[in-house]
Structure formats: C-alpha cells, structure tokens
A = this chain, B = another copy of it.
Amino acid sequence: MNENEAMQLELLRKQMAILQENLDQFFMIINGMFIFFMQCGFAFLEAGSVRSSNTVNILMKNTLDVFVGSLSFFAFGYPFAYGRPGNSFIGHNNFFGANVQYFEKSVIANNQTLGGYETSSSYFANFFFQYVFAATAATVVSGAVAERADFSCYIIYSFTITGFIYPVGAHWVWSPDGWLNTGAGTGLSMQDYAGSCVVHVCGGMAALAGAKILGPRLGRFSDDGLDKPIPGHSVPLVSLGAFILLVGFLCFNGGSIQRISKNGDGLEVSLSVTNTILSGSAAGLSSMLTHRVHSMVKGKGKYWSLLMTTNGGLTGMVASCAGCNDIAPWAALLTGSVAGVVFVFARQFVLWLKIDDPLDAISVHLFGGTVGTLAAPILAIRGQTINGVSVGGPIYGGGVDAWRGVGWSLVGLFSIGLWSGLCCFTLFTTLDMVGLMRIPKSVEESGIDMQKHGEHAYPETFVRIIDDRPETP
C-alpha cells in the first residue's frame, strides 16, 4: 500500500467514525422530537378530559412541565441519573451543566469543521433524549391530580419528579452504575428497554400518591359513595392527544436503542416499532370488548366506548415499553391483549378505592407499566446477558436463570414503585400539611381558570353563559 492509499484508508476510518457518531446523535434527536411532542399529546388528552372551566389550568400545567422540567432536569435530573462517576444509588456530576465539554481548543490537526475545537461530546444529545423521557414521567401525574391541585403544589412536584425522583430510578436501571443494572452481585440485569417500570410505574405511583392524598373532586362521589362521573368537555381534544401519543410512543420505544450505527440496530428499531403498534392495537381492541361486555353485565348498556378504546391502546403501548425490542410479534399481541383487559379492571379497582383519577393515569401507567415490566423477561427472546451470554426467557430455553431474571424485574418493580411512592407520599403529605396541596373550595366550584389564570378557555362561550344566567331579582 502506497502512502496515498494509506492516507485514504486513514481518512475513511475517520469519516466512518464521525458518520457513526453523528448518525447516532441525529437518530436520538429526531426521535426525541416526536417524544417531546408527546407533551402536546398529554396536554390535549388532559385538556379534553377536564371541564372547560379548568382547561386553561391543565394546559398551563402541561406547558410548565416542559419549561420547569427542562431547567430541573438540566440542573439536577440528568446529573443524578447519568452523571459519572456515580455510585449504585445515584449519579453526581454535571450539576447545572458543570464539567461538560462543548467546544475545547484541541490539538487534533484534521478537525475541519469547527476550527480547532474538540467536539467528541455526546452530552447534549443524551441530555435532550433523557429529558423528554423525564418530562413524560412528570406529566403522568398532572392528569391524576387535575381540577383540584394547587398551582404551587404543581410547580414543586413537577420540579422534584423531573429533578430527583425519576432520575434516581432511571439511574438504578439505565446508568452503567445503577444497582438494578449491574445486578448488585447477582449477575442479573433488569430488562426495561424503554421504561415500562422506570418511566410509567414511577409516574403512575406518583399519580397514585397525588390522587389519594388530594382526595376526589367535589361531587365526584355522592355522599353515600356512589360513583358520579364528571365528563370532560371535549372528546375531540382527548382524541387529538391520543393520536399524538400513539406516534410518540412508537418513537419512545423505537428510539430507546439510542443508536443506529451498529450491526442490527435497524432491525431492533423496527422490531420495537412493530411490537409497539401491535401491542397497542391488541390492547385497544381488548379494552373495547372488555368494557362492552362489562357494561352489559353491569346493566349499563352496550357501548363501543372511544375513551376506553383509546386509553386501552395507550395502556398496551405502555406495557410494550419494557420488552418491545426483544419479543416476538405474537408476544407483543399477547402483552397488549392482557394490558387492555387489565386496564378496564384496574379502572374499576381504582374507582372502588374511591380514588378520583380524571385521566385514568393510574390505570394506564401504573398497571400498564406493571404488566410490561413482568411480561418482558418472561417473553424475552435474547433476555439478559449473564457472563457475556444471552439467556432468553423461560419459553426460550432460559431455564432457572430466566426465572431469576423475572425475579429481578420483580425486585426492580417493587423498588422503583416503592421509591416513587414513598417520595411522592412524603412530598404530597408535606405540601398538604402546609396548605399548598389543594385549591380552595370556592375556586374549585367556580373553576380554576378565571380565578387563578384570569383566562377562560372559550371566552365567547363564557360571555354567553354569563349573559344567560337568570337575572337576580
């Protein structure tokens, strides 16, 4: 090989490395965009599900999830989750972006594009991708506490979940240092590809704590405990949110590989996407049918409920997160079908507990996430890697090791559920004691929008309603 050819080879190697790194970041960023857009999806799912007199309030909370969340996650969340070095419980570096290198004068000669600056860091691509995940976990809560949580309460919990509670759980499972990841000496590693447990069980437990401590909305249950549903004001807005979430979830799961340059990445991405849509579809249909049969049996009529179908579908997608990259399509269909049925009964169970969850966020995320967390290791094809060898799930010949893996997922499920639940219970109880938890009764009765935000969601209708009131004699 002559000198010219050697140089060409060297240049090619460098270009290849650059292309791989850039491509991976491009992949993360673009998937991150769709996941970021899920904030819009949650916002409208929630906006349609509340009364029109509380619609500005819920949109405000979702807007602040984006704004407060980005600051909180940049300052604290990412450092706690992924800052290295870290211990097995928590990361601790890069607070407020400290010690992050963006452009540094470098001695590398051939750096053509940035004029002598070293640019190997992938910090920001990782940050953005992880931020959109964290924001999702926080957003789950706003649905469960809708129409009655105080604004200060909201700001504080949103900041805390994004900046501390969620990141710690994420660290356990997704950081190379986390104890559920390293196995804490067991040699096992928890399987939670896209966060059935890390994101949805965490968010769902926070939602449960919030809804429980807040208590139901005024009039949600009659004095003798009867269920008196308070319908939201716009099904089209709910459906709009759901459609946005469907596409968001495909990228949520499809993007979780966070890489597209290595052998098999394309397959893993597209398998994840396929499994996610199949699981969601199966769940939507099984929820629809279960609800119809359940209503008939209960003597409540024979209905094809859009809201049940929609939320069921979302539950199936939540359940597909943990294992979508590592199960066969039939297993995705199975996971989804189960999740859809679970959703309908979880919803009844939450109602039976007299917990008021305007968005069914607990049923979708906590129960859907639980199904997914347990289904993943059972149905896994490749499963966990023990001593460098893939050990598939029980039905793929994984044997005892496979069941130990299922057990480890159970440990993870309880740990994260407990962590999130205890933290949020403490937080919400404290807020409740200092009177920052719930809006005053008068505000709840007349609607939060005009009282707290000075804005009505539909000013023209509002004016007409005011005008329509019978004159005081």
Interface residues of A (CB under 8 A from B): 1-2, 5-6, 8-9, 12-13, 15-16, 18-34, 36-37, 39-40, 43-44, 47, 51-52, 55-56, 59-60, 63-64, 66-71, 74, 96-97, 100, 102-103, 111-117, 119-125, 127-128, 131, 151, 231-237, 239-240, 242-244, 246-247, 250-251, 254, 260-271, 273-274, 277-278, 280-282, 284-285, 295, 301, 303-307, 309-310, 313, 328-330, 333, 381-382, 385, 388-390, 452-460
Instruction: For the complex, give the distance between the alpha carbons of A289 and B199 in Å.
Output: 30
A42 nearest CB across to chain B (Å) = 10
Q: How many copies does the complex hold?
A: 3
Instruction: For the complex, give the distance between the alpha carbons of A471 and B86 in Å.
Output: 71
Q: Which of A112, A254, A281, A390 has the most CB of B within 10 A?
A: A281
Contact partners of A67 in chain B: CB under 8 A = 280-282, 284-285, 309, 313
Whether A40 pairs with B236 at a CB distance below 8 angstroms is: no
Instruction: For the complex, give the distance between the alpha carbons of A63 and B36 in Å.
Output: 22
Whether B458 pairs with A234 at a CB distance below 8 angstroms is: yes
Whether A119 pairs with B267 at a CB distance below 8 angstroms is: yes
A336 nearest CB across to chain B (Å) = 10
Instruction: For the complex, give the distance between the alpha carbons of A43 and B268 in Å.
Output: 30
Whether A301 pairs with B454 at a CB distance below 8 angstroms is: yes
Instruction: For the complex, give the distance between the alpha carbons of A298 and B292 in Å.
Output: 50
A230 nearest CB across to chain B (Å) = 9
Whether A39 pairs with B243 at a CB distance below 8 angstroms is: yes
Whether A71 pairs with B281 at a CB distance below 8 angstroms is: yes
Contact A277/B26 with A66-B246, A113-B264, A117-B382 known, Cβ cut-off 8 Å: no
Contact partners of A71 in chain B: CB under 8 A = 278, 281-282, 285, 333
Whether B234 pairs with A457 at a CB distance below 8 angstroms is: yes
Instruction: For the complex, give the distance between the alpha carbons of A306 and B9 in Å.
Output: 57
Q: Which of A151, A243, A284, A303 has the most CB of B within 10 A?
A: A243
Q: Which of B242, B244, B273 contacts A29 (CB 8 A)?
A: B273
Instruction: For the complex, give the distance between the alpha carbons of A231 and B281 in Å.
Output: 32
Whether B117 pairs with A233 at a CB distance below 8 angstroms is: no
Instruction: For the complex, give the distance between the alpha carbons of A232 and B334 in Å.
Output: 39
Whether A44 pairs with B454 at a CB distance below 8 angstroms is: no
Contact partners of A247 in chain B: CB under 8 A = 33, 36-37, 40
**What are 13 A-B interface contacts by the 8 Å CB criterion?**
A22-B260, A25-B269, A33-B34, A56-B306, A67-B282, A70-B277, A70-B280, A71-B285, A111-B263, A115-B382, A120-B267, A128-B274, A235-B459
Instruction: For the complex, give the distance between the alpha carbons of A13 and B9 in Å.
Output: 9
